[in-house]
Amino acid sequence: MKICAIICAAFVAIATVEAQETTNSTIKYIDYSSLKKFTRAPVTKEPSSSGSDEESSSGSEEASSSGSEEEEEEQQQQQQQQQQQSSWTGSHEQSEDIETPAPTHTPAPTRPDPRQTEPPTPAPTPAPTPAPTPAPTPAPTPAPTPAPTPDPGPWEAKWIGHDQVKPFPQPEPVTISEKAAVKFKPQLHVTNGCHPYPAVNDAGETSGGLKTKGAPSAGCKGSGWGSQVYGRSTWVRGVWAIMYSWYFPKDSPSSGMGHRHDWEHVIVWIDNPSIENPKILAVTPSAHDGYSKEVPPNPKSMDGNSVKVNYESNWPVNHALGTTSKGGDFQDLIMWDQLSENARRAMNGVGWGKANTPFNDGNFKPKLDKAWPFK
């Protein structure tokens, strides 16, 4: 029975080793000390000092017989152990000769990347911030309506001596119309009669003129303050018209004849004041409630861009203007828009007897229509 138990234990050990080798390539050693529980240590009896020879001999025989059996069992067990050891050693040496395959690395299961498998968590949409309610814009405070300017009423003339009226100095031209008026300013030649004088000053005071006594030029041979020519311009039927006007203290062909105050004017018609080189198309000097018309002007009456105008009386007829080949004098030019407010009011409101202001609001347009030189 002991032998069977030993053999069974050996087979169990061998099966265990083979199972471990098949399940895992790693070599494991068997602890054979566990087999000692299945073996029996040999029993040796010491001879008793009080025993008889017979007992010792019989005991020795029994011991030898039993010892021989036990020795045989031990020898068989040792042989089996040697066989197992040799078989294990051989298998171990054979396993060392065979190339041990590299252990297959079984990757540990990894947790899937949530960034790839799980949809990204959208950022929370902030609640829309309501637009701040603007403070109600107060209605604009309307500018106080200025009180209507009271009608100044009819102009009350303020007459001063004809030789006391100071002229307006000629300002630097700024606008296109002002530059054109200066460029085409005419020159005046006085054949007989008075020389031109200023008619109104900055305060709106006007010349009192002269009586018709004495020589035609008596008392009016020129102002010590300087003279003046008045200008105003506009479009007429596609042509640019510039009116130049002079004032004379009296219109007297001879002593006692004629009248106090005289206004005369000439109209210069050009194609366009805006172009670089405007061209004069016609000139129309005033003459006894009418006009003489030159279309185009006589070259002899032109001095560059300036038309030469003559002031003359053919007795007993009053004075009038006409073109001439004789050179004349220039006066300081003041345009209608450059006059002071009081001066314009005076020009619109003052009555000059038998003379009238050709360039004021009431006369300017009708005079241009009457002087139209083109057919």
Residue 285 lies in a domain: yes
Residue 326 lies in a domain: yes
Confidence of residue 108 (pLDDT cuts 50, 70, 90): low
- 312 and 206 part of one domain: yes
Confidence of residue 92 (pLDDT cuts 50, 70, 90): very low
What is the rounded distance in angstroms from the CA atom of residue 217 to the CA atom of residue 255? Answer: 10
In the prediction, which pLDDT does 254 show? Answer: 87
Q: What is the domain count for the chain?
A: 2
In the prediction, which pLDDT does 5 show? Answer: 67
- 218 and 360 part of one domain: yes
The strand pairing partners of 159, in sequence order, are 206
- Report DSSP letters for 66-109, one per residue: HHHHHHHHHHHHHHHHHHHHHHHHHHHHHHHHSPPPPPP--PPP
What mean pLDDT do residues 302-326 have? Answer: 95
pTM (two decimals):
0.62
Residue 100 lies in a domain: no
Going by C-alpha positions, the residue among 335, 318, 344, 329 that lies closest to residue 206 is 344
Confidence of residue 49 (pLDDT cuts 50, 70, 90): very low
- 205 and 299 part of one domain: yes
In the prediction, which pLDDT does 69 show? Answer: 58
- 202 and 333 part of one domain: yes
- Residue 318 in tokens: 């009053």
- 84 and 228 part of one domain: no
pLDDT over 70 at 18, yes or no: no
Residue 331 lies in a domain: yes
Alpha-carbon separation of residue 348 from 80, 163, 170, 174, 366 (angstroms): 157, 22, 21, 25, 15
In the prediction, which pLDDT does 103 show? Answer: 53
- 204 and 309 part of one domain: yes
In the prediction, which pLDDT does 132 show? Answer: 76
Mean pLDDT computed over every residue of the chain? 81
**Residue 317: domain span:** 159-371
Lowest mean pLDDT among 61-75, 218-232, 262-276, 339-353: 61-75
Residue 50 lies in a domain: no
Give the model confidence (pLDDT) of 70-81 as tens digits.
666 667 777 766
- 81 and 168 part of one domain: no
Residue 165 lies in a domain: yes
Residue type, 226: G
